[in-house]
Amino acid sequence: MLSRLLAPGADWEVLVIGGGATGLGTAVDAAARGYRTALVEGEDFAKGSSSRSTKLIHGGVRYLQQGHLPLVFEALHERALLLRNAPHLVRELSFVVPRYDWWEGPYYGLGLKLYDLLARGGLGASHLLSREETLNRLPTLEPKGLRGGISYQDAQFDDARLALTLARTAADLGGVVVNHLPVTGLIKEGDRIQGVRVREAETGAEHEVRARGVVNATGVFADGVRRMDDPGSDHLLAPSQGVHLVLDRRFQPGESALLVPQTDDGRVLFAVPWHDRVIVGTTDTPVEGPSLEPRPQAQEVEFLLAHARRYLIYDPGPGDVLACFAGLRPLVGHDSAKTAALSRDHTILVSPSCLVTVAGGKWTTYRRMAADTVDQVIQVAGLEKRPSTTAELPLHGPDTAGLAAVAAERPGWDEPLHLNLPYRVCDVVWAARHEMARTVEDVLARRTRALLLDARASAEIAPAVAALLAAELGRDEAWQQAQVAEYQELARGYRL
Ligand SMILES: Cc1cc2nc3c(=O)[nH]c(=O)nc-3n(C[C@H](O)[C@H](O)[C@H](O)COP(=O)(O)OP(=O)(O)OC[C@H]3O[C@@H](n4cnc5c(N)ncnc54)[C@H](O)[C@@H]3O)c2cc1C
């Protein structure tokens, strides 16, 4: 990928900075339209917000409460497309809203009927549940004062895996995607951007990559790239932190997710089954600036534990938390949004030098954001006009056969890596060979989700993963030791 990116004479039409949902989606959209497309990610695909979400593909019950009906409508449309185009990664999920007060039935029941209407009948219709039906669906829900519930349908996914799938889809379409290659500066001729400067994280080597259109899709880091363009540019992003706790499934068995429609701070809270765990989240805490590894604050953890204890019969304590992770929402501040070239819940800005910045939105609507962004690039870079095709584009399929072949290659490669984790030795080898995993963290945090499923167990297998990666990537003993130390330090931050 790197040599293709840097090939002499490579004449990129679209160059995307940032390999999260937005950037990868933009690369897929541009490559699918037939433009010569490249993407550079400074760390790893989905290292930022895109691996730290609640993992829901949804219209957003919260947006519904706030009356943002067009947004909900658009997101529900995208939900239907994702269920069709990535059925191996996105699945339908039942949600239950418990009713403890008399007014909750009519109020939330009507709201969810509207949700059904906006989804135009896509998934099953919402309906009221009796007390018994509610407890059948959520056996550990607090029964004291429970009148019943409301059931509705939504969808769930694995965020980092979808990101990887987008990277592979872009590559299938002839695009080039490179991770561990941060952009350190922009190349300008006159007032116009002509490309970017990059530095290989592994070797320190620096290069220039020229392109006709450059997209800044760096999420909460977008202001930093905007300042590379114009040191005086104003703040666009106002990041807000969200924290999730991961618990054992015994705290919430059953196949349904729980939605608490009104927390103490007036938000919605989810407890969602995911990879045989339960994810509880989230919070909403404004933070000063962007960070690659945001840290959960003590009061956020306490807030989540307190709500889990209120709604579940087994009271989780800090010792029950298998992992705790924080992510930053790339929210766009209002003043800047006014000058947006195009605004839904995402914003696209074109700077005088023709840098196209896309920010905001959510995972669910990445495809729509991407299509809007490429439309802008076509205009500013003067590319031949071609329509977006991604609404009909199936994403890169599951790798079952290839993985089975790797598992059969050597004795022991079909074996589990850890009793508490659903991963095998061949998953690591596969990630190195076919998914551009370069570090132990790439494998344990995003190719597999070991870090989120059990941070402690993931740290225990770091040495084995480092040895497997070293064999695949031709690394030495010192590299392995450094990788293990670095990963174990990271994993400590995901434990309470
Ligand atoms: C707590 C939380 C819960 C959420 N839950 C949901 C949900 O359930 N459903 C939903 O639809 N959405 C959800 N979202 C929103 C969704 O996760 C984000 O909107 C989305 O992931 C943003 O993607 P992005 O690509 O814009 O940013 P990011 O994923 O942050 O990607 C930006 C990338 O740019 C890279 N980068 C930065 N600087 C440079 C540089 N100089 N050179 C190269 N690369 C660089 C970073 O390393 C990063 O990988 C949630 C968000 C949060 C925080």
CA of 46 to the centre of ligand 1 (A): 7
Instruction: State which H helix or E strand residue 72 sits in.
Output: helix 69-85
| CB contact at 8 A, 157 and 175 | no
User: How many angstroms separate the CA atoms of 244 and 183, rounded?
Assistant: 30
CA of 332 to the centre of ligand 1 (A): 13
**pLDDT of 99 above 80:** yes
In the chain, the percentage of residues whose pLDDT exceeds 70 is: 98
Nearest to 359 by CA among 375, 380, 377, 344: 344
In the chain, the percentage of residues whose pLDDT exceeds 90 is: 86
**How confident is residue 337, by pLDDT bands cut at 50, 70 and 90?**
very low
**How confident is residue 117, by pLDDT bands cut at 50, 70 and 90?**
confident
98 Cβ closer than 6 Å to some ligand 1 atom = no
**How confident is residue 266, by pLDDT bands cut at 50, 70 and 90?**
confident
**pLDDT of 354 above 80:** yes
376 Cβ closer than 6 Å to some ligand 1 atom = no
47 Cβ closer than 6 Å to some ligand 1 atom = yes
Residue bearing tokens 């979400």:
53
Residues 6+ apart with CB under 8 A from 28: 166, 169, 170, 173, 175, 370, 390, 393, 395
Cα 210 to the center of its chain, rounded Å: 28
Complete DSSP assignment for 322-388: SEEEEEEE-PBPHHHHTT-SEESSEEEEE-TT-EEEEEE--GGGHHHHHHHHHHHHHHHHTPPP---
Q: Which of 177, 300, 363 to mutate to test the pocket of ligand 1 (most atoms within 8 A of CB)?
A: 363
Atom of ligand 1 nearest to the CA of 181: 43
CA of 141 to the centre of ligand 1 (A): 32
17 Cβ closer than 6 Å to some ligand 1 atom = yes
CA of 288 to the centre of ligand 1 (A): 17
- pLDDT value, residue 121: 73
Statement: the pTM of the whole predicted model exceeds 0.95:
yes
Average pLDDT for the chain:
95
Which tokens hold the place of 405? 């072949």
- Which residue segments constitute the domains of the chain, with CATH numbers given? 2-49+161-237+331-392 (3.50.50.60), 89-156+238-329 (3.30.9.10), 400-492 (1.10.8.870)
**How confident is residue 336, by pLDDT bands cut at 50, 70 and 90?**
very low
Atom of ligand 1 nearest to the CA of 25: 25
Which residue's CA is minimally distant from atom 48 of ligand 1?
A: 48
122-181 pLDDT, tens digit per residue, is 788 999 999 999 999 999 999 999 999 999 999 999 999 999 999 999 999 999 999 999
Task: Count CB atoms within 10 A of the CB of residue 75.
Answer: 25
**pLDDT of 193 above 60:** yes
Cα 350 to the center of its chain, rounded Å: 25
- pLDDT value, residue 124: 86
- pLDDT value, residue 58: 95
User: How many angstroms separate the CA atoms of 239 and 287, rounded?
Assistant: 6
Read off the DSSP letter of residue 320: G
382-424 pLDDT, tens digit per residue, is 999 999 999 999 999 999 999 999 999 999 999 999 999 999 9
- pLDDT value, residue 107: 85
Comparison of pLDDT for 343 and 72, the residue scoring more: 72
